[in-house]
Chains A and B, each alone.
Chain A
Amino acid sequence: MAVRREKKQKAVTDEKRRNYMMSRTALGLILLLVIAASVLTIMVNTRLRLTSDQIYATNRVRIDTVIAGLQAGISENDDLSAEYDAIFTAKLKGANYMYDGFESVDFFNKTAADIASLMGVDAVAIIDSAGKTIGRYNCGYDFTIRRFAMLRACSNEDGTSEPFSIHYPDRTVRFFGMNVAADRILVFAQDWTETEENIQNATSWEAVLRGMVSVDTLSIAVSLKDYSFLYNPVADLTGRDALQNGVPIEALNDGYEGELEFGGETYCVVGRQWGDAMVYVMTRAGTNMANDTVLLVFLAVVFLLFIAILSVYGIIINRDNISTGKRPSYITLKKRTDPKTGEVRNVLNFNLTVAKKLLPITLGGVVAVTALCYYTQSITSLSSIAYESNQAIANIGTKLERNTEDATRLNLQYKEVFLDTCSTLTNILEENPDLLYNFSPEDEKVHYYPFEISENGGESTGLDRYGNPAYVQSEHPFLQELCRINNIAQITIFGEDGRIMATSGTGWWFQISDAPEAQSWDFHEILSDHIDYIAQDLAVDEEGNLSQYIGSAYYYYTYQDPETNETKYASRADYQQQLLEYNTTHQWNGPVIDKVRGVLQINIAPERLRSIAQTATLSYVADHTTIHGTGHTVICDTSDEHRCVYSPREADIGKTAAAMGYSPLAFNETGEMYNGFETLNGVEYFQTFKMVDEQNVFIGTSVPMDTVYSTRDSMTLITFITVLVGFLANFIYTCAFGSSEELMYSEDSGAAPDWRLRNEKDTVTITMPSGKTRKARTAASRWDAEYIPWWSKTPEQKFAQIAGWAFDLFAYMLFLCIVLSRSGVVTIDAINYVYEGVWTKGLNIFALTNGAITLIVVFVIAKLVEMVIDNMSANIGSRAETLGHLISSVIHYGVAIFAVFYALYLCGLDTGSLIASAGILSLVIGLGAQSMIQDILAGVFIVFEGAFRVGDIVTIGDFRGNVLEIGLRTTKIEDPAKNIKIFNNSTLSGIINMTKEASYAGIDVGIAYGEDIRKVEEVLKRELPLMKKRLPAIMDGPFYRGVSELAASSVNIKILALCKEADRIQLCRDLNREMLIILQDNGIDIPFPQVTLSYLEGGDGGNGEKDSREKEAEELESRV
């Protein structure tokens, strides 16, 4: 009864103990997850904040660039506007210059249409200072209203009025006025609708802001007058109301920084006021975060794994204590006295045994996770910079394209302007030959052109088409006046042979060339009627001034005076008049006027075009590209030395790449991005170089390293603190326990169960030379470690196994991430940017990461392959198993060697020469490794020939045992006494393979000569079958096989029994015993060795020697 009660009590305690352990484990799990989740949240939030800070910092720099761009755009706008205005003002002045007599209405009415067509103006009017219209052409405006006050005022110095536009419902009109006579104002009214549009388009918000786009960043603008979007490409919001569409009123303040949402995406925004608008630079907040979060999750998972296995270890130790009755050492932190019973109970205890074992691993874990965080943050920072740089370089190409487009477009518009000028000029000149061709040969500015005219416009004589001497007038006053009016640098007129007829400048000695390579070839094309107009590109003349030449077809009308034979010039009107008359009367009225094609050339020196051309250059774009706020761009050409063609530091331009300190690896022509680290002038930079095909240059970006790593250090610190707290919390929880001691261990756990014995069997205490004792594993157990069952492992062994699993899991996870990332299923920028591109070889973080990634992949693949081989070979049979084992070994060694070499390669060692020099080494090694090679070969052959396999029973020399393992080099045999003999494969010869299904255990039993052999046989016949029952090892038999030998002392009979080889030796002994009993029971004599002595007559052989027989007898006696 007492025993039962005791048992019941014990059962109750056991149950209580189990429940306690379970609840502790459950709570522990929850705690784990909570800790890991908090750690992750803190890290993510910190990262978010740091990233945001960075984004805002970068955008603050960017917005300056945007504002500058806008400023430039506005200037462009103004410039273009001014240009157009200037043209028309010039027309006014031209008309004023050309025509006299605006006081008279008559005069105006006669000439209004002419003026309009001459000047290319839509509408002309003459008004008085009150606005009353005196005369008009195509012009119906009421100029008396206040609106036209400025027009009437003509308050500019030159008598013109300030131009202004009126926007009518259907069109826009611009008004130009000039005071041409007393109380007379000449008005030009021009349809400005298209022009205004052109100007707006060229310099609109869109035109400027869209060029600011990079991958995740864009620029928008909101009008502060009507709060509509001046430009917002997201979700097509341009023109829509900003307040209703994502911009809160607070954002419309200068210096605003915050988050706004457009089109479903959140952006980090920096805003600046600029005139009547708010300009914003905003970066999409989402993308980067995804990648960062992935790495942080990875870190949190590692952390979780760590604290999980730590907790498990704690649990294992506790359970081990309970099972073995080992009392853990602990300290009591809090006691409570039960008021009712007066019992003192320990409420809070701290387990020191567990603490001692757990503490070093905990601290190690903190260091490991922090180091991992430091590493991953470094990688993240570098990757995102590499990414940004790559984008920036790609953007330069795009921006350049766009700028070139814009430049081309602006160029075209200016060409329109110039074309207009040309046509106005040609009109004026064609109508006023007397103003132009009024030179007299005595004038010192008139030169005689001493070359012959020829048909192809080559060499010319000094004669014109009528055989009269040809002249050139330089510094022509009329042309100079026209230049002044039209604000152009030079006007030149070329005749049909390509020589100059008149010019406003001083250079007259020039002829248009008929050679296609020549610069003036374009004008030759005009001469030969292939084209009517050409605007050459901006060029730098000999003095280094920017200039542009525009050419236009121009006709002059010349005839020969019939009386004087002089060359005379007529106007276009005259020519047309004559032509008209001829067509009606078929008779020439007067000398025939020839219409001759020449070229009008004007020379512009436009400042505006200079700036346009500039923006279309690589250096301008590069100058205006910011990377990460602090980086700068460098451009090198594709020559062999890779000279620098652009750098923010002027001094660098022209230097070779080597002189600048760039690695030659940077200039790979495959188009792959190069990433590396360089130190220039003591500052370390992160560099990216990439070849841009279209521009035929290498563009490189450099970002100072401290910028790159700015977030890393903060993140690592935060992570360290967070992780430390997390680990300590877990540690404390694992070590603390709150209930009574009885639940933590029990003293009456009874005799140690089997597994304890087994465990002790596997370890042995040995004494080291230094005198210390330590536990070592027995030889046998070292190779069957995998087969120790779980429950028989010590806590340390269990922990090691779990840690091993955790590590494997970690490796598989990494492997999965890498594979997913490389195959494009998931993009993890960090990993991608480590893999792609060319890296400097060296001891840098990317080489190390690349190495680590490759090694992980290789190891995991090797492990998987081995797993597959093991499984397959286990199914096929022991031969395959041996082979499989061999292959696994090969894979192991191969992978190890590859890993070492690859790691060295990545770190910059020239493994090529290493392997080459290994040639000499290999000779040395080969000689030394001869025997090893022999062993390996022997092993291979053993396996292939199947001489013996793992598990066979073999005898080699005098060693008989089980084959444990056939390795590459050695074979291990285990004898029944658990001794293991290790043979070099090459020494394995004379092997007896005793593996067979059954062997014969055979003994020779000696019977006395005096016995009747037939009687013995009777006995055996009776007894042997009975023996079979007693000896279960006998498979068949025992059999009596007759007399094997008539020996000196006995008659030997053979008994054989069939048995398993493993049982053979023992069975022989058993058979011996049985035979002894049978023979003894049946009174059959087993003799011992006998010798029959017979003495000879006489004594010894004369010299005291005993004869042989005597000697024998003595020996026998002594033996017995």
Chain B
Amino acid sequence: MELAENIIQKRPEGLSSPSKKKQRKYQHTLTKQTGAKCTIFPTKHIGICNSGLVNGLSEEVVYEHFSKYGKIEQILMLPGKSCCFVSFDDIKCSTKAFNNINGVLNIAQYLKPVFLSFVENIPESLIEANLKHDSDPPNGLIILENFITDSEERAFLALNDFNRLGSSLKHRQVKHYGYEFKYDINNVDLNCPLEEKIPKECDILWERLRIAYPQLIFVEPDQLTVNCYKPGQGIPSHVDTHSAFEDPIFILSLGSAIVMDFKNDNGDHHSLLIPQKSFVIMSGESRYAYTHGITPRKLDILQTKAGLTVFHRAIRVSFTFRKVRNGKCCCKFHSKCDSYLRTHEKSYTAFGQLAERVEETHVHKVYENIAQHFSETRHKPWPNVVDFIKSFETGSLLVDVGCGNGKYMNCGQNIFQIGLDTSISLLNVCREKQYQVLLGNCLRIPLLDNVADGAISIAVIHHLSTEERRFSAIRELLRILKAGGRVLVYVWAKEQKHRNEKSSYLKQDRKNRRCEENEAVSNEKLTLVDGVEIPIHTNRTQFKHQDVLVPWKLKKNSGKSLNTGTDESQTFLRYYHVFKEGELENMCAQFNSKLLHSYYDQGNWCVILEKK
């Protein structure tokens, strides 16, 4: 058997010794992150040591490049990790892939080459935890295969000529019958029915459904939305507005199979293949409590215990049939029910000077008071932020907006970093280490336009208490950047469970490690100025609201309050707006910038933007 080391040396260009050193470093990281044992002997299993989901590497790209060398048995992407695994059917193929890709193929972040290592085995526990995509449907979802014949499929497709259709959303083409679904209000207008009703040709479906599924109670739909997806197009995760439509919802799929993702608040994630010519009944929990969406990509990779199957997408046309609802929704799935939330949620909307007062009292003053304790507990930089900073070349200017105690201020190599923060106590900590810092607000950065090569905003924008102010903060970050400059933004996620994995924020509670879910809900409310109330969050639990006050407990004698010198144990409440999946991206989409990468890391939603 050949040694991988030898294989490397045999490669025509050969790897220079710094690369070898780099390779060893990466192998070490792979083992540390995953527990997989690296080996110099070729095996079927290859670890990609320096790139994974957090670096923007997708299963699709891995498949595209590795499948050239033989049949792939499994691709294992790991959420929150900068590595992943590919297993081949046999060693010949994996060796070929290794020789051609290692240190050569530029699919790692910032177009750098990937470094590979053979591993003895992929640890079972990793497979168990990450081949999570449950391929069984969620409760209430029924897929009836081959519901229509080939000739009926052609007839349905002929009903719409998408080449002529004018209306097109950013990512797909769409046409409505019966009522128009308005995407700005996410609802239909009952007073404005459309001239065009659901085509008669669809009637066969209801007769057939009654025969195929006699126990199903349903009213014939009066609204139809036809979507046309080209390969590479998709639809963001969403719940059909509860108050707009009854239960159930039906989907007829034409032209191509597709994988649809269903996710709920508990972090359950089902990836389901919706076959061509199938008829889906989405009812109960699957209709009310799960979001559904289609990832924009050209091929779907479905992994089950049996192995890996790849579906190349063709043009898919879907018919979504719904019955328009008259009145409120009364379902029991409150977290996604707009009718329930409208009447029960005291939504917090601050504006103008009130927003500034909230931030002054519940952000700026709190950081001033907890500065010492905060700084003592915030010393470990997040690796993906460090990687971003290290990607800037010598002589770059990087601004850390909201630098806190400066934990990222010396991560760069031969670059000039300036920090900005509103807390003088935290800035004084920075000065002890000679960092360049400014006292200022992220909404009014005191720097010239187009001056910085890069910027970071780590855990800052979630402290701004109106959408307008959060929007302005991103505009400010882009303002100071040069064209081509990049900014990395981290905000706290409402979802503290992602792809079935609890964030370290939840894990830090011992109770959460043991039991299923900490359901404790705090009913405490704090009355603020002008009668606006914000709920107080219970630490180490999932967020129930987006606008919350998060307690910071200062223990007796630890980090005395600088102003009062008291050594009483004190609780400070910090204001947060925790971001929902997609919220940060949508906000960023409104600027003249390019979204280079978006990901979930350490319980945060993260984006990298490039200024145009």
A binds B: no
B-side residues, CB < 8 A to A, are none
